[in-house]
A and B are shown apart, each in its own frame.
Chain A
């Protein structure tokens, strides 16, 4: 039996919004330590990994490890029925066919109870090889979203260059080209901690599909800042840390340079 309660439904709402465009069907893996979800998008270009720790819940109980296959777009629709400040309780029996979601209003005067049918998903456990990333860049999350949206105007492939001096996002398309450079530490102090932080051991330059970066940016409401980790020829890691409850990590395969393909 599974029973876990979040003080605010908005957290799960935002999480599902951050995943549903990338992944349609995914399995929530519940264990006594919390719940996690790992899935690739339909074209296997990216992988997302969500981890929520039991300590981040108001109440968390999971007697038996179970995997609940859920359609994320449908879950998003159900969650739309909850107010942001409702408490949210997830419930499932052992070997469940359905997952129940209970929304209770702050004043306890309205209780909404939804059952969602589960799916039988063949779950393949994928392991992401541990990588020592050569460069890490921390950017305010909304800044990152803005950059991606702006660059998408001009093209669909973004070249990210991380150097000690700064990080550059460049795009080139039929219309023209654009460069956005962020320098470390400048915007700091005034807005309190919201600054660009660059930790580069070795300069890296990689190319990525903007479409996927845009999907990742859907997680912006979940965190103040986003961390991009890169190394040559390995996937980009985009991580949104959500305080004590957990994190969402996105991995994106780099685009291979044309000359390499020949």
Chain B
């Protein structure tokens, strides 16, 4: 998750700050990070009983802490997975399933502590959990928005639009998305590492005085991000060197191919461009309370520039998030509709404990899904 090595490389820019210093400001919060951390203490309850109340209380405690120090939180939740991340998501799903199976076995043997460790790996933050937290937020009058896709893009949007003064997150992605002020690693006492883009030039490890946001973004993608794995041997330091030397995206990519040190796969450039456009133009919700709006790209899309970069079939930027109907998008943002299944929460079945699936699946595993055959064309679905 995040940009490999980025936070470490920016250590000297970070300033230790307490929430008190930010009093009177509003903060867009990456809620997923909190929910994730909240699941650690109750992973067994979640897996066995589908009970995540402790996790919700943990998040609410943090919300209260922000408010106590005079910071106004806007909670931002992740929505659906991007098409280009479906593979990563499937792989994660698989490893979660395996962890769940191990955890279940330990649990049955009565080794609760070890089981909990496995269950931690098995738990995923589900829309149902998000919905429970939203219930509490609504009750205490805290603002929130569910992003149509990734929360990081939504955080950057809120901050750029001036709807939030800074961002609270654990994920270095939000720097790549263009958040200017971020509070990382917020602890339970209210202190964290504060990143301000303005201070970027003072960084000691990597000289970035002349870096524009475009250059920072290129560096992040080169170093390895969620949308594109880095090339072998490429880390944040080499990425920085390349960007420093060539400055412009096209020249960086050309330089990369011609310096001969690294073997560059054939389609690397195309995938780089896609990753870049996903960071720039991912769809977000415009978030104007009370007004129903459709989704907008994080940064306005310059159609001519995009046309130059992409083959025809990719120009609608479907990889940066397929468009969603305005009304549906609005209800998703307000937490009324499950962002993944697009079914209203009211109509969804009650969540089943995770281990239910294992209990029935330990003996009986359905055989693999089969490919269509000659019979299919005679049938209607």
The minimal Cβ–Cβ distance linking A22 to chain B, given in whole angstroms, is 12
A128 lies within 8 A of B379 (CB): yes
Number of interface residues of A (CB under 8 A): 33
Residue-by-residue, is B350-375 near A (CB-CB < 8 Å gives 1, otherwise 0)? Answer: 00000011011111111100111111
The minimal Cβ–Cβ distance linking A196 to chain B, given in whole angstroms, is 27
Tell me which of B360, B361, B378 has the highest count of chain A C-beta atoms within 10 A of its own C-beta.
B378
B366 lies within 8 A of A25 (CB): yes
B366 lies within 8 A of A129 (CB): no
The minimal Cβ–Cβ distance linking A161 to chain B, given in whole angstroms, is 21
A residues less than 8 Å from B361 (CB atoms): 119-120
Residue-by-residue, is A23-64 near B (CB-CB < 8 Å gives 1, otherwise 0)? Answer: 011000000000000001011111100000000000000000
- B365 to chain A: closest residue by CB: A119
Choose from B356, B363, B381 the contact partner of A127 (Cβ within 8 Å): B381
* Contacts A69-B364, A120-B361, A121-B366; A97 near B356 (Cβ below 8 A): yes
* Contacts A97-B360, A119-B360, A119-B366; A253 near B373 (Cβ below 8 A): yes
Choose from A24, A124, A253, A256 the contact partner of B375 (Cβ within 8 Å): A253
A120 lies within 8 A of B357 (CB): yes
User: With A and B bound together, what is the CA distance between A121 and B381 in angstroms?
Assistant: 17
User: With A and B bound together, what is the CA distance between A13 and B378 in angstroms?
Assistant: 30
A residues less than 8 Å from B372 (CB atoms): 44
* B210 CB-CB contact with A under 8 Å: no
* A117 CB-CB contact with B under 8 Å: yes
Choose from A69, A97, A126 the contact partner of B366 (Cβ within 8 Å): A69
A119 lies within 8 A of B381 (CB): no
Number of interface residues of B (CB under 8 A): 23
User: With A and B bound together, what is the CA distance between A43 and B367 in angstroms?
Assistant: 13
User: With A and B bound together, what is the CA distance between A118 and B357 in angstroms?
Assistant: 10
A120 lies within 8 A of B375 (CB): no
A119 lies within 8 A of B364 (CB): yes
Question: Which of chain A's residues 82-138 have a Cβ closer than 8 Å to chain B?
Answer: 97-98, 116-121, 124-129
User: With A and B bound together, what is the CA distance between A45 and B378 in angstroms?
Assistant: 10
* A4 CB-CB contact with B under 8 Å: no
B residues less than 8 Å from A42 (CB atoms): 367, 370
B residues less than 8 Å from A240 (CB atoms): none
* Contacts A129-B378, A251-B375; A24 near B356 (Cβ below 8 A): no
A residues less than 8 Å from B356 (CB atoms): 97
The minimal Cβ–Cβ distance linking A96 to chain B, given in whole angstroms, is 9
The minimal Cβ–Cβ distance linking A131 to chain B, given in whole angstroms, is 9
* B313 CB-CB contact with A under 8 Å: no
A45 lies within 8 A of B381 (CB): no
A128 lies within 8 A of B370 (CB): no
A residues less than 8 Å from B364 (CB atoms): 69-71, 74, 116-119
* Contacts A74-B364, A97-B360, A117-B363; A253 near B370 (Cβ below 8 A): no
The minimal Cβ–Cβ distance linking A195 to chain B, given in whole angstroms, is 31
A residues less than 8 Å from B267 (CB atoms): none
* A234 CB-CB contact with B under 8 Å: yes
Question: Which of chain B's residues 188-221 have a Cβ closer than 8 Å to chain A?
Answer: none
User: With A and B bound together, what is the CA distance between A40 and B359 in angstroms?
Assistant: 26
A residues less than 8 Å from B367 (CB atoms): 24-25, 42
> What are 16 A-to-B residue pairs whose CB atoms are below 8 Å?
A24-B367, A25-B366, A25-B367, A40-B373, A42-B370, A44-B374, A45-B373, A45-B375, A70-B364, A117-B363, A120-B360, A120-B366, A127-B380, A128-B379, A253-B374, A256-B374
- Residues of A participating in the B interface, judged by any CB pair closer than 8 Å: 24-25, 40, 42-47, 69-71, 74, 97-98, 116-121, 124-129, 234-235, 251-253, 256
- Supply 14 further A-B pairs (C-beta < 8 A) apart from A127-B380, A252-B375, A253-B377: A24-B367, A25-B367, A43-B373, A44-B371, A44-B372, A98-B360, A117-B362, A118-B360, A120-B366, A126-B381, A234-B378, A235-B375, A253-B378, A256-B374
